[in-house]
Amino acid sequence: MTLSFTSRWRDELPATYTALSPTPLSHARLIWHNDALAQQLAIPPSLFAMENGAGVWGGESLLPGMSPLAQVYSGHPVWRLGRPAR
């Protein structure tokens, strides 16, 4: 089974993120995962094996089709800046 990634959110909402590669964690290791949820999301069990998946979960490698991004924070303190209080 292969995972497939879509970029709809990335394509339709460009002002809400910055394209950014993940910062790898040093000595990353997977401690636990939810088997039932992984099955519902069709995540192959091989991605939870240390030799295969630790790099993905720890930011060291990407799977084909992944295009990482960082979401822009746009909470009320940001949009209120520069506007007079009412």
Distance CA 41, CA 44 (A): 9
CA dihedral over 63, 67, 68, 73, signed as positive or negative: negative
Q: What is the pLDDT of residues 7-50, one digit of tens each?
A: 887 888 888 888 999 999 888 888 888 999 999 988 888 888 76
Report the half-sphere exposure of 12 (CA within 13 A, side-chain side): 4
Distance CA 2, CA 23 (A): 24
For the ranges 12-16, 19-23, 53-57, 80-84, which has the lowest average pLDDT?
80-84
Amino acid 29: pLDDT: 82
Amino acid 39: pLDDT: 92
Nearest to 55, CA basis, from 29, 79, 35: 29
| Cβ atoms within 10 Å, residue 53 | 20
